[in-house]
Structure 1
Amino acid sequence: MMNSNAKVQKQMIVFVVMLLLIGATIIVGMSLGSGALSINRLFQTLFGYGTNKENLVLFSIRLPRIAVTLLAGMALALSGAILQGITRNDLADPGIIGINAGAGVAIAVFFLYAPLDPKSFAYMLPIVAFLGALLTAALIYMFSNSKGKELQPVKLVLVGVGFALALSGLMIVLISSADHRKVDFIAQWLAGNIWGADWPFVWALLPWLVILLPFTLYKSNALNLLSMDEAVAVGAGVSINRNRLLLLGTAVALAAAAVSVTGGIAFVGLMAPHIAKAIVGRRHQYYVPIAVLMGGWLLLFADTIGRNLVDPSGIPAGIMVALIGGPYFLYLLLKK
């Protein structure tokens, strides 16, 4: 019991530290950029005493981008945590195993060939991305699952990497045959440029997280058992296939909703859960809330640094995350 109390205490301390870190990064992100706001002017504008220009910069440009980036990072981290649990593999990530690429191809096809209604575009994208990612995840699961044998985590990751490469090739074919005016959007998406930086995209992303985060926490014990040996899960009375498919659907929905507005971002779902596990242990009820905050902060930090590093357009968040995540992935690969 003492051990459990100590873990809860540690979780609360890390939780508060992460909230403070996110708060500090948000303040820095709101004050930096073209038309920089001093801390004094920032708080005055937040409380309704800003000029028209300051209100426009803060409420129409910076705040929606910060909100989208934070929510997307949280969704990717939660998706990664679920995938690592159900595959029993710390290298699983929606970007690495092809789920993001599946969402990307669906978005590219929708954007290039569907008649677009600008008003419903933001709300349609997560659904289109979800369908593309779900089909990809189903194919990956089918190809990596041998009949009569338990799921092999390494096989699933390798099949996923193969799908990611094949779908990236398909994306290049789509771009090469597309109207050059629409290619810019797809290129931005591939680079992981936070393009959906407007309030409708925040409202399109928020419900997925609000519904699926409590559901994942509710399923924490099932995830704990699934991340062990299958015999242990069966012995504890867990319906393996049902729970695994439910949770895989949850992970796919979260990743698809996130990448539909941020573009192809990998490694957040790999790093955040892994760091959280190293701090508070491997039980999902302890580390998932920390991983969610960690993912939100990682993407927010990468975007804040990237958009202020190079003028005028900055470096896409996806590239910034890859610069950090690539070496971390190799480190994990060598360690395992």
Structure 2
Amino acid sequence: MKSMQAGTMEHRRKIRAAQVMAVLGALILAAFLISMNTGFIKLSPWDVMKTLVGAGTEKQELVLFDFRLPRIVLSVLVGAGLAVSGAILQGVSRNALADPGLLGISAGAGLAVILFISFYPMTEGAPVYLLPLCAFAGASLTAAVIYSLAFRKGQGVAPTRLILVGIAVSAGISAAMIVLTIKLNPEKFQFVSVWLAGSIWGANWHFVMALLPWLMILLPYVMVKARVLDILRLGEPLAIGLGTSTERERIRLLAAAVGLAGASVAVGGGIGFVGLIGPHLARRLVGPHHQYLIPASALAGGLLLIVADTLARWILQPSEIPVGIVVAIIGAPYFIYLLMKT
């Protein structure tokens, strides 16, 4: 009888998760279509449809295929990467406030990117594909420092200690980034200032191809490890009792989170709160089971960032504001709400 009830509940959970993800996918598609029609150069929905089927003018093809579409695709990919990274960190640390920005991982990736940009002009082709690797190296080093400082022999890594160490390390890295930024020439200083505020700056297909392999490899790996995340969420003693090698699995999952966050930061800049809001929204919609939470977080993060980027391009036309500022306007009150609730 109990097994039948459990099977029925699981079936209902699957149906609900499928419905939620279908709705999120439809909303992303709708935002995608609206975003293609948004910008300083006006393209009507009919112009967009004609251009997509190859019947547009040369100017319309340039605007749509070379400028808008790469940026829209990057918005979805960056949002998905940051949200899944946040879901992993929240599951590993068992802390609802964990996200790549708060734990200092985004700051470490950002520092590495700023160092890279200081020495290589971004007009060259090869550095574009090296950027995610560079960001991953910076994020990995930062994560290793945070983990080693938060680890206590015989106690492991306490969630609260991990958060506090991450905040302290992030503050130190941010100070170093400010010093480096001051020493840049005016052109690079302006670019880095906008990048730090959060900007989908690599609006071409090279950056899409630089980010896409990271998501194609790491997202399936995280889905395979969904059950491990569910077990880690139960706490250290129970996870060990169920036969899970907690430290090894935690390090592997942290490496996946670092890879997703680092690659996303490399092309999206210092965008905060997506890794916090995306998983929370998904958890409210599909529940805490990571086999549903991970894909729902990816869709929620992609939807959040494509909407924020569309607003950033539309609010102050013909100028635009960094998408990170729009996300912060949404995310800061939500973070305060979570902090007070927790």
Q: TM-score, normalised by structure 2?
A: 0.96
CA–CA distance in 1 between the matches of 2:197 and 2:121?
25
CA–CA distance in 2 between the matches of 1:323 and 1:210?
30
The answer for the alignment partner of 2:137 in structure 1 is 131
**1:194 paired to 2:200:** yes
Secondary structure at 2:155's aligned position in 1?
coil
Pick from 110, 117, 138 the counterpart of residue 111 of structure 1: 117
CA–CA distance in 2 between the matches of 1:326 and 1:115?
34
* Residues 115, 326 of structure 1: alpha-carbon distance in 2 compared, 3 angstrom cutoff: closer
The answer for the alignment partner of 2:107 in structure 1 is 101
The answer for the alignment partner of 1:207 in structure 2 is 213
Structure 1 gap ranges (5+): none
Offset of 1:115 from its aligned partner?
Answer: 7.2
The answer for the alignment partner of 1:156 in structure 2 is 162
The answer for the alignment partner of 1:220 in structure 2 is 226
The answer for the alignment partner of 1:295 in structure 2 is 301
Offset of 1:9 from its aligned partner?
Answer: 0.4
The answer for the alignment partner of 2:18 in structure 1 is 12
The answer for the alignment partner of 1:172 in structure 2 is 178
CA–CA distance in 1 between the matches of 2:184 and 2:100?
26
CA–CA distance in 1 between the matches of 2:209 and 2:272?
23
The answer for the alignment partner of 1:40 in structure 2 is 46
Offset of 1:40 from its aligned partner?
Answer: 1.2
1:75 partner letter:
G
2:30 partner letter:
A
Offset of 1:228 from its aligned partner?
Answer: 1.4
Offset of 1:116 from its aligned partner?
Answer: 6.6
Task: Report how many aligned residue pairs link the two structures.
Answer: 336
Pick from 81, 85, 91 the counterpart of residue 91 of structure 2: 85
Secondary structure at 1:118's aligned position in 2?
coil
| Structure 1, 143-152 or 78-87: larger mean CA deviation | 143-152
The answer for the alignment partner of 2:285 in structure 1 is 279
CA–CA distance in 1 between the matches of 2:339 and 2:130?
37
Secondary structure at 2:157's aligned position in 1?
coil
Is this contact kept in 1: 2:226–2:291, CA < 8 A? yes
* Residues 116, 307 of structure 1: alpha-carbon distance in 2 compared, 3 angstrom cutoff: closer
C-alpha RMSD of the superposition? 1.1
CA–CA distance in 2 between the matches of 1:145 and 1:303?
38
The answer for the alignment partner of 1:231 in structure 2 is 237
The answer for the alignment partner of 2:82 in structure 1 is 76
Structure 2 gap ranges (5+): 1-6
CA–CA distance in 2 between the matches of 1:147 and 1:319?
40
- Could you give the per-residue CA deviations for residues 84-122 of structure 1, whole angstroms, max 9, x where no partner exists? 010001100001111111011111111113577711121
Structure 1 segment 260-271 matched on structure 2, within 5 A = 260-271=266-277
Pick from 326, 329, 340 the counterpart of residue 323 of structure 1: 329
Percent identity for Structure 1 against Structure 2: 48
1:102 partner letter:
G
Pick from 247, 251, 263 the counterpart of residue 245 of structure 1: 251
Secondary structure at 2:234's aligned position in 1?
coil
Pick from 19, 36, 40 the counterpart of residue 30 of structure 1: 36
Offset of 1:181 from its aligned partner?
Answer: 2.1
Q: TM-score, normalised by structure 1?
A: 0.98
2:65 partner letter:
F
Secondary structure at 2:95's aligned position in 1?
coil
Offset of 1:125 from its aligned partner?
Answer: 0.4
- Could you give the per-residue CA deviations for residues 180-230 of structure 1, whole angstroms, max 9, x where no partner exists? 221112111101011011000000000111111110010011111111111
**1:140 paired to 2:152:** no
Offset of 1:311 from its aligned partner?
Answer: 2.5
